[in-house]
Amino acid sequence: MTELSEEQKRDFEAAAFRRLVEHLRERNDVQNIDLMNLAGFCRNCLSNWYREAAEAEGVALSKDQSREIVYGMPYAEWQALNQTEASDAKKAEFEARRPRDH
C-alpha cells in the first residue's frame, strides 16, 4: 500500500467529503429519512459533524451555517424545494432504527 503523508490524507479526505456533499446536492430526490433508514446518517448529520469539527478548532458555526454549507442553500429553502412527507412506514422504520442522538 502507498504510504500517504498526513497532509495527503487530509486533502484526500476533504476531496471525498466535497464529492459526497456535491452528490447529495444533486440527489435532492433522496430524502434524509431514506438516508437515515439505509445508512444511519443524513445531510443533517454531516452538517453536525462539520460544525463539531469547526468548534474543535475554535471556530463557532451555527446550526444554520453548517447546514447551508452541506445543503448549498438555507435549510428552509431546501426543505421547501425538496422535502416530501415521509410515509408512515418510513417514519416507523426510522423510529425503530433511530440512534439515540437523533
In tens, the pLDDT along 21-66 reads: 999 999 999 999 999 999 999 999 999 999 999 999 999 999 999 9
CB atoms within 10 A of CB 32: 19
Q: Which CATH class is domain 29-97?
A: mainly alpha
Q: What is the mean pLDDT of the chain?
A: 94
What is the spatial distance between Cα 46 and Cα 50, in angstroms, rounded to a whole number? Answer: 6
Over 80: is that where the pLDDT of 101 sits? no
φ, ψ (nearest 5 deg) of residue 92: -65, -40
Tally: H helices and E strands in the chain: 6, 0
Angle (deg, nearest 10), helices 63-71 and 75-82: 50
pTM of the full predicted structure? 0.87
